[in-house]
Structures are given as structure tokens and as C-alpha cells.
Amino acid sequence: MGDKVWILGVPLSPVTLAASLHQLSQWLKEDKTRLIFTPNAEIISMAQDNPALKHALVAADLTVPDGIGVIWAARQFGTPLPERVPGIELLEQLLALAAEENYTVYFLGGRPGVAAEAARRLQLRYENLTVAGFHHGYFDPQAEQQVLAQIAAVKPDILAVALGAPKQELWLTRWAGKLPVKIALGVGGSLDVIAGQVKRAPLIWQRLGLEWLYRMVTDRRRLKRFWHLPRFVGLVYKTKHQAHDLNV
Ligand code: UDP
């Protein structure tokens, strides 16, 4: 992997989907916990006001550029990233690899029933996939200890956490290193998609780089987060021009 590309204080790994998967497959052979996040424009905007989130992203082992906004911003700064790596595609390919090579996975997050349904569907899709366990993402501090004990007991190779940003990044940064897992990754709303609760944008929207717009108009909860996107664009322009002014 080359040097990370920095966007508004957040590092992005300059990787393709294939390269990220290759890296994860190497890490699965090692006895160490690796943290993987999938920053997009919204998460990078959130990190501007949330130092703990920014720190979590800086400390991660791999941060894949999830979204067209990040690709656009990297180009603005003259440090292009190779391609968009949607978190859900990385997760699905990682699970296909896990099924092939006998790695186990634990799903944490989503409303009650979602992780279970995602696990059921994934086991139909990838016949040999071993789901070591799952738990919904609405637990109180007392239940948290039980969740941690359960994960520690089943020792999954892969821990996929869908608590939404910034919760999943902060939760994983706090706990992943204390758990016997090799790959710990934040997967946002992926379990909802896999469980059939939420649909991904049609392929044409994805190809046009408009998946974010599709999600915004089909999921009303996201509307209140919309302002992160114009703010991200504004901050990128501002930073770019400041850098330009300093150079002349
Ligand atoms: N979630 C959760 N616990 C919480 C808050 C959120 O398990 O306390 C789940 C929520 O049910 C959803 C996911 O986290 O499955 C976040 O989804 P969102 O679409 O917001 O994430 P994104 O893909 O935008 O990161």
C-alpha cells in the first residue's frame, strides 16, 4: 500500500477493492487485530467536529474511500485515489473469502432481528460461511459487557460492526484491541441492506456516482444529515484555495 491520502485531516488508504481484499486476506493469517473503516464525505465532515472520531480514523489500519465525494476531494487536492471502494462490497467479498478459507464472522449492530436475518441470508449465499454469533446494536452499558464476553468466547476471525458513524468507529477503537479478532470493521448500514431492509441504489445510479443521492431521497432519516455533503464540498474548496494562496 502506498502513502495515505489526507482529506481534511482524515487519512484514506490509496487502494482498490481488490487490493483491500488482498490486504485483509494477509491480515487474516496474522495474530493481530486490525481496524478497518470506510470513511465517506459525511463521516469526514463529522470528524471535523469530533476529535475522537478523527483520532479513530487516523489510528485505523485501513481506511477505504467509500464514496464519490472522497474520490472527488482527493482529485481536488492533486492526490487522486484509485477507485471508490463501497464498504458493503468489501464486506461481501470478505465474507466470500471467509467462506472459502474457513474464517468465522460475528455481526454486531442493526435493529433487533437484522443481524440474525443478515446472517441467515449470508449462509444461504455462501454455503460454507460460519457465523460465530450476532447481536443487535441497541444495547445498554450493562448488556455491553455480555456482548463483549460473547465475542471473546467465540473468537471470530472477523468482527463486522454496524452501529452507524461515529458510534461504530468509537466503539471499535475502544474495544477491538481487547478482543480476540483479526479483522474488525465498521460496516454502517450494510447489515440492513444484506437483511433486505434497505435497498442499494440501482446500478445506473451507482455508476453515475449518485448512490448517496438515492439513499438520501429514499431514506428520510438521512435528510437531516444532508448538510454534511455541501459542507464537505465547501471545506474542500476552502482548504484547496488556502493551500494555493500559500504556494503563490
Ligand atoms: N445502529 C445500531 N445502534 C445504534 C445506532 C444505529 O445498531 O445505536 C444501526 C442502525 O440500525 C443501522 C446502522 O447502525 O443498521 C447505521 O446505519 P446508517 O444507514 O446510519 O449507516 P451508514 O451506512 O450511513 O454508515
- Taking every pair of C-alpha atoms in the chain, what is the biggest distance, in angstroms? 60
121 is in which domain, residue-wise?
A: 5-247
- Tell me if 110 CB under 6 Å of ligand 1: yes
pLDDT tens by residue, 179-195: 999 999 999 999 999 99
pLDDT the model gives residue 221: 81
- Tell me if 138 CB under 6 Å of ligand 1: yes
Distance 220 CA to ligand 1 centre (A): 14
Distance 10 CA to ligand 1 centre (A): 21
pLDDT tens by residue, 58-113: 999 999 999 999 999 999 999 999 999 999 999 999 999 999 999 999 999 999 99
Q: What's the distance, CA 120 to chain centroid?
A: 21
Q: How far apart are CA 106 and CA 40, in angstroms?
A: 24
Q: How far apart are CA 164 and CA 148, in angstroms?
A: 18
pLDDT the model gives residue 172: 98
- Shortest CA distance to 95 belongs to which of 200, 183, 227? 183
- Tell me if 165 CB under 6 Å of ligand 1: yes
CB-CB contact of 194 with 114 (8 Å): no
Name the residue with the closest Cα to ligand 1, atom 15: 110
User: How many independent structural domains does the chain possess?
Assistant: 1
Most ligand 1 atoms within 8 A of CB, residue of 64, 91, 163, 199 to mutate: 163
Q: How far apart are CA 43 and CA 66, in angstroms?
A: 10
Mean pLDDT of 27-47: 98
Sheet with 104-109, strands from edge to edge, namely 62-63, 34-37, 183-186, 158-162, 104-109, 130-135
